[in-house]
Amino acid sequence: MTAGELNAHVEDGTIDQVIRVAEARQCKALSRIADDICSRERARLVLLAGGSSSGKTTTATRICTQLMVDDRAAVQLSTDDYFVGDDENPRNPDGTLDYEHVECVDIPALTADVATLLRGEGIARRKFDFVNHRPFYPGDELWLPAGGMLVIEGIHALNPRLTAGIDDAVKYRIYIEPRPSVELFMDIKPSASDARLLRRLVRDNQFRKVNPAKTILRWPSVLAGEKKWIEPFRGNADAVFDSYLVYEMLVLKNYVGGLVELARKELGDLPQLMNLRRMLGVVEAVDATRVPGDSILRETIGGSQLDY
C-alpha cells in the first residue's frame, strides 16, 4: 500500500477498515505460531526476542492468549525486569553505560527463576523501575501451572546464556521485527530501523521521560549493540513475526512530529531527523482513539487494555 492510498482511506472515511484488516492479519499470524508451539510435544519454554521497540511485550502477551485458546496455560516473564541497574551495568570503553550488553541482565537470577518455574515452584516476581533504573520486588509470587508454557521476551531472549542448562527440545524461539510495507515515495519504504526509531521516540518520551535528542543520539549505539548481541541468534528462530502495522505511521505522526522538532532545536538538521520529518510529512494523521486496545501500537502510545 502507498502513502497516497492510505491518505485516500483517511479522506473517504474507510481507514477503520484498513486498521481492522492490519490487526486481524497479525492475530492470524500469532494464532499460527501458537498452533506450531503446541504441536511440539516437549515445548515448555517460548523465547521471544527482537530489537528495541519491535513490540516484544505485547506480542508475548498475545502469544500467551493464543496458547490459552489452544488450552495451554501460559505465564510471561520479561528479561527487562532482570536488568541489574546502573550501578552494576556494563560500560562502554568511554565510560558510558552500555544498555545493549547481555550482562545488563542479571543472568544468574533469571536462569534460577526459570528453572524454579519449570519445576512447578513459585518465585518472587521481579520488576524494573525505568525512571530510577533499579530492580524491585512488588511482593507477589509467580507460578507456572502444570503443563503450562513459560513465555520470556526481551532483546536477549534468544541468547543461550539466558537459558543455559535447559534442553533445547523444550524451547521454541521467535524472532520479532517490524517489516514496513507502506511505500512513502516511489518504491521507497521506511526501513525496519526507521519504524523502530519512530516507536522508540514516542515510548521513551511517554514512559521513560527521556529527551528525544538523547534518544536520537543513542540510536546508533542501540543498533550496534543489536548487531553484536541479537543478530547472531536470529537464525535460530523457529518462527519470525512481522510486528509492523501498515497504518501505524499515521497514528505516530500525532506524537512524533513534535518530538522530532524538539530534537532539531538541540541537534540541528541531522540527516536522521530530516529523514523522519520527510516521512511524516507525506502521511495524514489518524487519531489514536481508532487503535484497538490490544494493538502492538498501544505498547508505544499507551492506553493498552493488556496487562504487562
DSSP of 113-169: HHHHHHTT--EE--EEETTTTEEE--S-EE---TTPEEEEESTTTT-GGGGTTS-GG
Whether residue 129 contacts residue 135, with contact meaning beta carbons closer than 8 Å, is answered with yes
Ranges in the chain, pLDDT < 70: 186-187, 308
- What is the predicted pLDDT for the residue at 24? 98
- What is the predicted pLDDT for the residue at 206? 87
In a domain, 307, yes or no: no
Torsion of CA 108, 112, 114, 116, to 10 degrees: -170
- Phi–psi pair at 153, nearest 5 degrees: -120, 150
- What is the predicted pLDDT for the residue at 256? 93
- What is the predicted pLDDT for the residue at 187? 65
Please state the pTM of the whole predicted model.
Answer: 0.93
- What is the predicted pLDDT for the residue at 183? 86
In a domain, 42, yes or no: yes
Whether residue 6 contacts residue 250, with contact meaning beta carbons closer than 8 Å, is answered with yes
CATH number, domain of 45, equals 3.40.50.300
Which residue segment(s) compose the domain that 108 sits in?
3-301
The Cα 47–Cα 266 span in angstroms is 39
Q: What is the CA radius of gyration of the chain?
A: 20
Q: Name every residue whose Cβ is closer than 8 Å to that of residue 274 and which is 6 or more positions away in sequence.
A: none
Count structural domains, the chain. 1
Whether residue 272 contacts residue 292, with contact meaning beta carbons closer than 8 Å, is answered with no
3-class SS of residue 244: coil
- Phi–psi pair at 135, nearest 5 degrees: -80, 155
- What is the predicted pLDDT for the residue at 152? 97
In a domain, 78, yes or no: yes
User: Which is nearest to 226 in space by CA: 100, 132, 53, 60?
Assistant: 100
- What is the predicted pLDDT for the residue at 300? 94
The Cα 173–Cα 184 span in angstroms is 32
- What is the predicted pLDDT for the residue at 262? 93
In a domain, 151, yes or no: yes
In a domain, 306, yes or no: no
In a domain, 88, yes or no: yes
Own/partner long-range contacts of 160-166 (Cβ < 8 Å, ≥24 apart)? 160/233, 161/102, 161/107, 162/79, 162/102, 162/105, 162/107, 162/110, 162/111, 162/114, 163/45, 163/47, 163/111, 163/114, 164/111, 165/111, 165/115, 166/45, 166/114, 166/115, 166/118
Beta partners for residue 150, in sequence order: 45, 75
The Cα 277–Cα 297 span in angstroms is 20
Other CB atoms within a 10 A radius of the CB of residue 64 amount to 22
Q: Where are the alpha helices (DSSP H) in the chain?
A: 3-12, 15-38, 56-69, 107-118, 192-207, 212-229, 231-234, 248-267, 271-280, 298-301
Whether residue 174 contacts residue 33, with contact meaning beta carbons closer than 8 Å, is answered with yes
Whether residue 251 contacts residue 201, with contact meaning beta carbons closer than 8 Å, is answered with no
